[in-house]
Structure 1
Amino acid sequence: MLIYHSAYDAYHCLFRMITLIDHVDVIEVDKARILDFYLVFPSLVSEIRMPHNYSEIKKVAKKYSNHYHDPISYISTFRDMHQIQLAAIRCLAATALIEIESLEKGIIKRTDKEIPDGLLLSMRDFLNGKEDIYIFIIDKLAKFHLTGKDGLKHRTSLMEYRYDFP
């Protein structure tokens, strides 16, 4: 039996990445991967070790919990999504939506190339579907620093942070 899940769909990943870069002009590749993971599994935002002023968002995230949709092991699922996410990011570079030179340095930087109106409408509908949590992920979580103690890698436990350069 085949079961579809958007976490492993390369085209849906590409769509989520376009949505991210349209709202966050410059972002590290690793941070984009983490944010993309939470766009697929918004209920897992409740598992992030948050600063105290963001404790309310955990309650919001829990309402999106789904035993059939959420991963059994979120770390394994994040690791399994790695190649799909990198392929989507490379596709964005190939279509000139992000700068290739920045990508070679591990940074996703948006270019001036226009996104088609139909795609912009689809992106808006996607974000409006779970607006309360998606806006938090794109606007607030994207502003957390990525590396080191209390960085996004450390707070989410999705990536190793102890060997990051300060």
Structure 2
Amino acid sequence: MLLYNKALDANHTMLRMAALLISWKAESLDSDALRLFDFLVANPAHIQKLSVPRGKFTDKNEFKSYKNRYQNFDPKSLFNAMKEIHYLAIERFVELGVFQSDNNSSKYNVFLEKIPEGLKKLAKSKENSISNQAIDFIVENLTSISITGSDGLKKITSLMDYKYDVN
């Protein structure tokens, strides 16, 4: 049986990232944070699995309804499989002028006005296949959390190694 997984579609990744950027309105970002957030937008069911203290994000349990029996995968393996597509999308945003590298680091300055109008229109559309509920959750709860550290995004998502990060 052939199954389509939008998480592994480069065009859908650009669309998800554009929708996230438009809602987030960040002036700068770290590519690891963008990758983690994109994974959550592509796989909203993983939000309910975030490893946070009980009662911290009570609305994360609303994402149980996104669970799909056909999307039975190891989250870390899928996240790693998405790595090349993430970097292609980030590279394309650099080419478009949406991202500007910040001294050869994993940080980028963001210029939302450079997102092409067609992509911006589709990203804002209600008829796209992106979970606005997931984007709203991420913007409201996760964008202010550090990537590294004992309570960082890498740890709470369980998608990236974090033990040897320097804060």
- Normalising by the smaller structure, the TM-score range is 0.7 to 0.9
Alpha-carbon distance between aligned partners in 1 of 2:115 and 2:70, rounded to the nearest angstrom: 34
Alpha-carbon distance between aligned partners in 1 of 2:12 and 2:61, rounded to the nearest angstrom: 26
Alpha-carbon distance between aligned partners in 2 of 1:49 and 1:118, rounded to the nearest angstrom: 37
Partner SS for 1:27: strand
Partner SS for 1:109: strand
Alpha-carbon distance between aligned partners in 2 of 1:59 and 1:135, rounded to the nearest angstrom: 14
Alpha-carbon distance between aligned partners in 1 of 2:9 and 2:74, rounded to the nearest angstrom: 18
* Counterpart in the other structure of 1:139: 140
1:15 partnered with 2:15: yes
* Counterpart in the other structure of 2:57: 55
1:43-70 deviation digits (Å, cap 9, x = unpaired) = 110110124453322221112111113x
Q: Which structure 1 residue ranges, 5 or more long, are not aligned? A: none
Pair 1:141–1:7, CA change in 2 (3 A): same
Q: How many residues align?
A: 164
* Counterpart in the other structure of 1:40: 42
**More helix per residue:** 1
Residues 13 and 86, structure 2, Cα contact 8 Å, conserved in 1: yes
Pair 1:19–1:25, CA change in 2 (3 A): farther
Q: Percent identity?
A: 29
Residues 29 and 110, structure 2, Cα contact 8 Å, conserved in 1: no
Pair 1:87–1:72, CA change in 2 (3 A): same
| TM-score, with length taken from structure 1 | 0.87
Which runs of structure 2 are paired with 1:8-157 in the superposition (5 Å)?
Answer: 8-22=8-22, 23=24, 24-69=26-71, 71-99=72-100, 101-102=101-102, 104-111=104-111, 113-125=113-125, 130-157=131-158
| TM-score, with length taken from structure 2 | 0.86
Pair 1:122–1:102, CA change in 2 (3 A): same
Residues 60 and 132, structure 1, Cα contact 8 Å, conserved in 2: no
What's the C-alpha RMSD, in Å, of the aligned pairs?
2.2
Alpha-carbon distance between aligned partners in 2 of 1:85 and 1:103, rounded to the nearest angstrom: 20
Alpha-carbon distance between aligned partners in 2 of 1:112 and 1:125, rounded to the nearest angstrom: 17
Alpha-carbon distance between aligned partners in 1 of 2:103 and 2:66, rounded to the nearest angstrom: 33
Residues 35 and 138, structure 1, Cα contact 8 Å, conserved in 2: no
Alpha-carbon distance between aligned partners in 2 of 1:103 and 1:7, rounded to the nearest angstrom: 29
